[in-house]
């Protein structure tokens, strides 16, 4: 028993060989199919095997491969198995310089994604109510990470976090200015998710602004210092009037 394999690089050649080995190909070109079988067996086994010129070929196929079986005139080989496969050349040869650059790029992206996930677990940078400086720093760091990741939607979300930080300082005008800019960004990007984030921030900003004005009016009437201190939504707003 002998066995071997033949790998064909060219797609058109492999398609033509597959056709000749099919029942349709054998019926149309019987002589060429016999020559092809002889060539494949000689290439696959590194030996010359004689095939009968008038022999029949039994063919069938399954989910794995197509099979072609014929008799031989060679008494040395009772069975010969030749595997014919398609093995195209690599589209892009591997160069170590390019590979190193690709690995560095992938490592940088992984590092940015990891850093972004770590910051996101801290609430995106605006829920650190008693540490506003750190909260603002985290939001700005996340903006830098999103720029490195080329993710404009994430970058806009981080600027919305800066809007919440402005609310914590009682800077309502600045918060509203930031929010208007991000609403334009959401419209330009056509992002429904970002639009919903801006809408939620707008609703919250309006509620806090209205609450602030009510408290300021109440304290002015009572003659007490104008201070607004909200603990119910982990939001701390302190605004002193002039």
In a domain, 232, yes or no: no
CB contact at 8 A, 109 and 149: yes
What per-residue confidence (pLDDT) applies to 230? 47
Q: Are residues 131 and 185 in the same domain?
A: yes
Task: Name the helix (H) or strand (E) containing 80.
Answer: strand 80-86
| Listed residues 68, 86, 104: the one ending a domain | 86
pLDDT tens-digit readout, 99-152: 788 888 888 888 888 887 777 766 544 555 566 777 788 888 888 888 888 889
Structural domain boundaries, residue 133: 96-203
pTM (two decimals): 0.49
Burial string for 109-129 (b: 16+ CB within 10 Å, else e) reads eeebeebbeebbeeebbbebb
**What is the rounded distance in angstroms from the CA atom of residue 56 to the CA atom of residue 51?**
10
**What is the rounded distance in angstroms from the CA atom of residue 192 to the CA atom of residue 194?**
6
What's the residue count for the chain?
A: 242
Total of domains in the chain = 2
Which CATH number belongs to the domain containing residue 166 in this structure? 1.25.40
Task: Name the helix (H) or strand (E) containing 6.
Answer: strand 2-8
pLDDT in tens, the chain (242 residues): 566 677 777 888 888 888 887 778 777 887 787 787 777 777 766 666 565 555 566 666 676 666 666 666 665 555 666 777 777 776 556 677 777 888 888 888 888 888 877 777 665 445 555 667 777 888 888 888 888 888 899 899 889 988 888 887 788 899 999 999 999 999 999 999 999 999 999 998 888 888 777 776 555 556 555 555 444 444 545 555 55
* Assigned token pair, 13: 């050649």
**Three-state SS sequence of 162-199:** HHHHHHHCCCHHHHHHHHHHHHHHHHHHCCHHHHHHHH
| Listed residues 27, 61, 86: the one ending a domain | 86
């Amino acid at each position: 028993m002998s066995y071997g394999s033949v790998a064909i690089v060219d797609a058109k050649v492999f398609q033509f060989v597959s056709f000749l080995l099919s029942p349709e190909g054998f019926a149309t070109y019987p002589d060429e199919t016999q020559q092809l079988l002889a060539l494949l067996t000689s290439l696959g086994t590194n030996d010359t095997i004689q095939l009968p010129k008038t022999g029949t070929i039994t063919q069938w196929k399954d989910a794995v491969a197509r099979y072609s079986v014929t008799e031989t005139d060679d008494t040395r080989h009772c069975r010969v198995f030749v595997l014919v496969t398609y093995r195209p050349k690599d589209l892009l040869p591997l160069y170590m310089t390019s590979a190193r650059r690709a690995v560095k790029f992938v490592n940088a992206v992984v590092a940015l994604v990891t850093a972004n996930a770590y910051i996101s677990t801290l609430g995106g940078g605006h829920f650190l109510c008693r540490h506003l400086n750190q909260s603002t720093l985290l939001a700005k760091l996340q903006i830098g990470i999103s720029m490195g990741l080329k993710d404009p939607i994430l970058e806009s979300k981080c600027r919305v976090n800066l809007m919440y930080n402005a609310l914590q300082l009682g800077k309502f005008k600045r918060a509203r200015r930031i929010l208007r800019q991000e609403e334009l960004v959401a419209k330009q990007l056509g992002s429904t998710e970002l639009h919903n984030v801006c809408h939620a921030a707008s609703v919250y900003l309006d509620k806090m602004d209205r609450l602030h004005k009510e408290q300021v009016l109440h304290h002015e009437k009572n003659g007490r210092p104008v201070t607004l201190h909200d603990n119910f939504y982990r939001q701390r707003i302190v605004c002193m009037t002039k």
